[in-house]
Amino acid sequence: MKIVINKKKLSQIQEKRIIDKKYTILLVDDEPANLNSLTMVLEDKYHIFTANTGIEALEIIKKVPNPEKFDLIISDQRMPEMSGVEFLKQTISIIPKTVRIILTGYTDINDTIDSINEGHVYKFLTKPIEPNNLIVSLQRALEAYELERQNVRLINQLQEMNENLEHLVEERTKLLEESYSSLKKQKEELEYLSNFQDSLVSELELLSITDPLTGLANRRWLESYIKEECDNAGRNQKEVSILMLDVDHFKLYNDFYGHAMGDKCIKKVAEILKKTIAGKKGLAARYGGEEFCCVLTDSNFEGAIVFAKEILNEIRREAIPHEKSSTAAYVTVSIGAYSVLPKDGESSMELIRTADNYLYNAKKNGRNQISTN
């Protein structure tokens, strides 16, 4: 018979356990200000240890009598001598069950994949992160951690009972009757954990192909998409259009307005791309930094130019101030557009490089314009 889960009641159980029990968290960051901020947010609910580098953190873990006291580690990715992923990989053999979270201020898909596949990382968070969001993420992580420990304990108990069943039947009968209610609750928790793990796998799969800052596709998704669509276009004898876009004078924008405003600018450009490509056959992706790529399938040269002009007009209409730009008083973009009927054996990177060359021409010729084949 299928177990029906009272999710509200189960959530209350888990929340009470998190409040009642003090967990121990190790914070690792080479910036003292970040450590102080994290400590202030978390110290009321958790035991906090801090380290400035991965090497220092490893020494702390190795010196304590019981390393498993560290229930969760939050590590910055970019640190001197040893990255966060490298540090977490070295902790696996010492404290394999500890929950690992990477906190970073940049986005890099290779680091994300390394974290998931090699560092046994539960979650990949980007700075800046709101305290409430951080606390919720930690609570969910510790809920999963606690359920996993209970699962292990339950399995060990059941194995022991099976090994000693004949000897313990009479002695344990009364205890099993008294424990029925508790075992039923544990089964509900195990079902909850199974559903939680399925959700986590889906989240990690989405994370591996999505840019965290903008929500657009990332390079991994983009390159796979171009390859598949080029194969389809080649069979159907239809053109594919590749557009490379770059925010003009973005380094000057970042230096003058600050990285927080720089991120907002990148997000706004991404929103314009989503809006412009909506309803069309294609994909918008963040290629890296301030550079984007759009793919239009079943689109000829004229269609690509119309699409590129729509983007330029939307960017100009947004009129994001840019006092340091030598091109205009507002943020502008340059676009390289390339339309082609794909040939057999032509790689996606060759198409991207060609569009990127046209982008370079647009910048060389004064920016805030379209360069095409």
Query: Which phi and psi angles does 365 have, rounded to 5°?
Result: -90, 10
Could you tell me what percent of the chain has a pLDDT over 90? Answer: 51
**Banded model confidence at residue 193, pLDDT cuts 50, 70, 90:** low
Token duo for residue 26: 């190790």
C-alpha distance from residue 199 to each of 3, 131, 203 (Å): 19, 23, 6
Q: What is the mean pLDDT of residues 8-27?
A: 64
Q: Identify the residue whose tokens are 């898909």.
A: 109
Neighbours of 252 (CB within 10 A): 14
C-alpha distance from residue 12 to each of 55, 192, 257, 365, 373 (Å): 39, 13, 44, 62, 61
C-alpha triplet 360, 363, 365: angle, nearest 5°: 110
Which DSSP helix (H) or strand (E) runs through 341?
Answer: none
| pLDDT at 272 (0 to 100) | 96
> Listing from the earlier edge strand, what are the strands of the sheet with 99-104?
46-51, 23-28, 72-76, 99-104, 123-126
Token duo for residue 332: 């502008």
HEC profile of 170-221:
HHHHHHHHHHHHHHHHHHHHHHHHHHHHHHHHHHHHHHCCECCCCCCECHHH
C-alpha distance from residue 163 to each of 28, 114, 154, 160, 283 (Å): 44, 41, 14, 5, 58
Which DSSP helix (H) or strand (E) runs through 126?
Answer: strand 123-126
Tens digit of each residue's pLDDT (9 = 90 or more) over 62-111? 999 999 899 999 999 889 889 998 999 999 999 998 999 988 876 655 65
| pLDDT at 154 (0 to 100) | 77
Give residues with Cβ within 8 angstroms of 64, minimum separation 6: 70
Q: Which amino acid is at 365?
A: N
- Distance from C-alpha of 141 to C-alpha of 7, rounded to nearest angstrom: 17
10 Å CB burial of residue 265 (0-12, 13-18, 19+) is buried
DSSP 52: S
Give residues with Cβ within 8 angstroms of 51, minimum separation 6: 26, 27, 28, 57, 60
Pairing type for strands 333-340 and 240-247 reads: antiparallel
Lowest mean pLDDT among 49-63, 202-216, 227-241: 202-216
Tens digit of each residue's pLDDT (9 = 90 or more) over 232-283? 877 888 899 999 999 999 999 999 999 999 999 999 999 999 999 998 999 9
- Distance from C-alpha of 306 to C-alpha of 276, rounded to nearest angstrom: 11
Euclidean distance between the first and the last CA atom of the chain, given in angstroms as a whole number: 65
- Peptide bond preceding 128 in cis form (omega within 30 of 0): yes
Q: Which amino acid is at 347?
A: S
| pLDDT at 116 (0 to 100) | 65
Neighbours of 214 (CB within 10 A): 22
Distance from the Cα of residue 83 to its chain's centroid: 17
pTM of the model: 0.47
| pLDDT at 151 (0 to 100) | 78
- Distance from C-alpha of 118 to C-alpha of 115, rounded to nearest angstrom: 6
Tens digit of each residue's pLDDT (9 = 90 or more) over 141-172? 888 888 877 877 777 777 777 776 666 666 77
